């Protein structure tokens, strides 16, 4: 049976597919616009499927995927019982608190925080003893301060363009993020060819 990869849809998946190609794997059915969900290489050795990033650790923990590639942000927000084996040094960005430049935090008053990462955000503000009301949003989080839904956001910043174009600034950096290769615990011991494949990834 092929080695199955769960990849987070988007830019990082495209970079990983480039790595597969560098390693000599060819996916005849794959194109960026394809609506197909699972792609297998010509030799049948490896296959991958594309999912939303928070689902990657779920598929790997359950063993539906042997390997997953996903950002550190997702692993911290959605902890999973998997091995994290490699830092692939792609998909680099930072987890930040952002708000309008004039926004200041008064630690006696509750602030409203919007985030796709409520756990990370809550842990951060708990550490500061800052009372918060946490609002979970699924995307376009920058809208929350712009429309008055929240005082600040906790979100990933890559180029900084989204913040800039919406008049927001970084108030604090929580941590650096990059993509990690995670592996199902049973697959690591039992799946033929998996260790060799991970070694090849490490070299690239
Ligand atoms: C992410 C993130 C920011 C943006 C940051 O959103 O949540 O909105 O990228 O990138 P930048 O610093 O390069 O501008 P994504 O594009 O994944 O979509 P989403 O807002 O729908 O989650």
Per-residue pLDDT tens over the stretch 175-190: 999 999 999 999 999 9
How many alpha carbons fall within 13 Å on the CB side of residue 83?
A: 13
pTM: 0.92
3-state helix, strand, coil in the chain (%, to 5): 30, 30, 40
11 lines ligand 1 (CB under 6 A): no
| Closest atom of ligand 1 relative to the 162 alpha carbon | 14
Name the CA dihedral angle for 12, 13, 14, 18, rounded to a multiple of 10 degrees: 100
Ligand 1 centroid – CA 192 distance (Å): 37
CATH number given to 3-91+178-203: 3.40.190.10
The pLDDT of residue 52 is 94
Q: Domain coordinates of the chain in residue numbers?
A: 3-91+178-203, 93-176
Helix (H) or strand (E) holding 197: helix 194-203
pLDDT at site 188 = 96
Q: Does ligand 1 have an atom closer than 6 angstroms to the CB of 7? A: no
pLDDT-derived band at 151 (thresholds 50, 70, 90) equals: very high
Q: Which CATH class is domain 93-176?
A: alpha beta
pLDDT: which is higher, 58 or 36: 58
Check for a shared fold between 3-91+178-203 and 93-176: yes
Any atom of ligand 1 within 6 Å of the Cβ of 161: yes
Q: Which of 186, 203, 202, 194 is nearest to 60 (CA)?
A: 186
């Amino acid at each position: 049976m092929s080695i199955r990869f769960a990849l987070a849809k988007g830019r990082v998946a495209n970079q990983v597919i480039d790595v597969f190609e560098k390693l000599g794997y060819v996916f005849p059915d794959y194109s960026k616009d394809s609506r197909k969900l699972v792609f297998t290489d010509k030799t049948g050795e490896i296959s991958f499927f594309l999912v939303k990033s928070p689902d990657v650790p779920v598929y790997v923990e359950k063993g539906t995927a042997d390997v997953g590639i996903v950002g550190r942000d997702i692993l911290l927000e959605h902890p999973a019982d998997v091995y994290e084996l490699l830092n692939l040094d792609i998909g680099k960005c930072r987890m930040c608190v952002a708000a309008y430049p004039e926004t200041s935090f008064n630690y006696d008053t509750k602030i409203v925080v919007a985030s796709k990462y409520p756990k990370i955000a809550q842990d951060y503000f708990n550490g500061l003893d800052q009372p918060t009301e946490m609002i979970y949003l699924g995307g376009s989080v920058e809208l929350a301060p712009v429309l008055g839904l929240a005082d600040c956001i906790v979100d990933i910043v890559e180029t900084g363009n989204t913040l800039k174009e919406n008049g927001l600034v970084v108030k604090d950096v929580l941590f650096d993020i990059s993509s990690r290769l995670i592996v199902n615990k049973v697959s690591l011991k039992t799946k033929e060819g998996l260790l060799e494949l991970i070694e090849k990834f490490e070299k690239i």
